[in-house]
Each structure stands twice: as structure tokens, then as C-alpha cells.
Structure 1
Amino acid sequence: MKKILFLALLVSFTLFNSCSVDDNTADFQVEFLPIETVEIPAEFNFGETHEITVTYKRPTTCHSFSSFQYVPEENNVRNVAVINFVTLGNDCETLEDDLQSESFSFSVLDTEPYTFKFWQGKDASGQDMYLIYEVPVNN
């Protein structure tokens, strides 16, 4: 549902801005930000909903939280990344250690353990890096 809302917002904002007679450039962009830390339960209870909180550094005053990219994969693996809107053309101030926390709810619908991969950016060779947590499920 959050993905659909995000995409609808993104499309409507882009269409609105693309009608400018001055130019056809958008006034914002979307950026993934590396996750610094994660608060996740040590175990889940089957059939319950648990809150997961991530912390990331906001690099400038032009960055604002948009949503999470949440991608389920096979074998109960979940990839999670933080998405920010970045306003362009403004006087952005660089921020030092401006930690932001955001949470999402996770419903446990399987009795097998879940593996969460929280995106931490790319290494020197361009490979994605992740904080990885395997969470067992109590029946």
C-alpha cells in the first residue's frame, strides 16, 4: 500500500512539475540513504505485528523522509532501504550527524525465520552492503 501511495504521489508531483513553461525539470529527486542502525526484535511471534525502527543520517536540510523500499524475496528474505525526497535548487545546508529514525510495522505470517537485509550503501567496488538480521519465529 505504501508503494502504491508513493508511486501515485511521485507520478502526480512529476506531472504537475512537468507542465512548467520555463523548463521541464523536476524540483526534487528521490535518493536512497544508507541505514546506520536497526532496532528489531530478537524474535517474532507468529500472527503478531512487530515494529522495526531504522536510523539513518540526513545529509542536508533539503533531504526529507519519503518512505521505505521494502522488497520481499524468496525464503522469507526482506530487503529494506530508506528513501528520501531531495529538494533541488534551494540553499541546502550540510548537516553533521543528523540522525533520523523511522519505523514500519511488520506482520509475521510464516513460522519460518525471516532474514532482513537493511541497505547500507555501496562499497568501493560498487557492491551493495547490508546489515543482516535473521529473526526466528515463535509459534
Structure 2
Amino acid sequence: MKKFLFLFIAALSLTACEIDDDGPGTVQVIAEVVDTTLPESFEEGKLYDFKITYLLPDACHTGIGVQAMREGSGEVERRKIYVAGVASRPANQTTCNLEDDDLEVEGSFSMRIEGDEPYTFYLWTGVDVDGKSVYNEVVVPVGEEEPTTPEE
């Protein structure tokens, strides 16, 4: 898990620029997920589109998409999905003087449901005081949920 998180953050913190370009590049950062359209349950074999709303760190950032990654390649790990927004800003920008009341951005990703076991989505919400990522965990079952009967 720690290795996955390190690779996830490292991939998002890369600077994008051309080798011969002496101008400013961009820095990518992960952004807090504030809303999503996860269903109550999944149907096996069906392709789902998920809309994600994420929050830009400030008005100087631009939303560039959603990062959704599986924890690994094994059967159990493939059902653990880590989701975060991705934002960027100019690499040479050290302060932001712009203000904006609407920092929410929408993005999306698609995924086909395989197997009949539940999927767990880890929606990135930030870091704790120790610098560790914090997630909202949402479990979505595959197949129709069995109705519950009231206790008699």
C-alpha cells in the first residue's frame, strides 16, 4: 500500500516540459474529491461512467482530470480503486493572488465491473498531520442488494 501511494504521488508531482524548453512548465498536484456519482450497487460486466467533483487548491490551479488507479493486479486488489482530482499550476509560480469562489471542477472516468465481489473506492480528501493520505471509503456491492426484513 505504501509503495502504491508513493508511486501515485510521485506520478502526479512530475513536471511537464519539453527538453529544449527554457520557459515555465507545470506542476501537477492531487486535489480533494468532494463529490461523486457512485451507484448503490453494480451489475457484473457492465461499463460505468463516474463523475467526480474535486476542489482546486486555489484559483491559480487548473483542473486537468481525474486519476483513478487500482491497488494492484490481483483479484482482490483490482476491486480497490483510489480516486483523486488532478490540478496543475505554472512551475515558476510561488504565490497566488487570484481569488475565485468556485474552485470545484468536474471530471470523469469509466470502469467495467468484473466479478461479483464488492468494489471499494478510496476518495482522496487530503493529508493528516503526519503527511499520510486520508480517504473517504465507499463500498459498492455487485448485484442486487438483498432486501432486509424488520426484526420481529
Q: Which TM-score band applies after superposition, normalised by the shorter structure?
A: 0.7 to 0.9
1:40–1:51 contact (8 Å) kept in structure 2: no
- Shift in Å, 1:128: 1.1
Does residue 1:111 correspond to 2:111, yes or no? no
Does residue 1:83 correspond to 2:82, yes or no? no
- Give the share of equivalent positions with the same residue, in percent: 25
Aligned to 1:96: 101
- Shift in Å, 1:35: 0.9
Structure 2: which 5+ residue stretches go unaligned? 1-10, 145-152
- Shift in Å, 1:26: 4.0
Aligned to 2:20: 19
Structure 2 distance, partners of 1:27, 1:125, is 29
RMSD over equivalenced CA pairs, Å: 2.6
- Shift in Å, 1:89: 4.6
Larger radius of gyration: 2
The AA in structure 1 aligned to 2:81 is R
Aligned to 1:38: 36
Q: Which aligned pairs between 1:45-84 and structure 2 lie closer than 5 A?
A: 45-73=43-71, 75=76, 76-84=79-87
1:59–1:96 contact (8 Å) kept in structure 2: no
Larger mean CA deviation between 38-47 and 123-132 belongs to 123-132
Does residue 1:132 correspond to 2:137, yes or no? yes
Structure 2 distance, partners of 1:87, 1:96, is 21
In the superposition, the TM-score normalised over structure 2's length comes to 0.69
How many residues were matched structurally?
A: 125
1:60–1:94 contact (8 Å) kept in structure 2: yes
Q: Which digits, 9 at most, give the CA deviation of each residue in 1:36-83, with x for residues without a partner?
A: 122210100111111222212223343222233222125211111111
Aligned to 1:3: none
Change (3 A) 1:55 1:104: same
Structure 1: which 5+ residue stretches go unaligned? 1-6
- Shift in Å, 1:94: 2.9
Structure 1 distance, partners of 2:136, 2:83, is 10
The AA in structure 1 aligned to 2:47 is T
- Shift in Å, 1:108: 0.6
Give runs of ≥4 in structure 1 deviating > 6 Å.
Answer: none
Change (3 A) 1:101 1:111: same
The AA in structure 1 aligned to 2:108 is S
Larger mean CA deviation between 71-80 and 114-123 belongs to 71-80
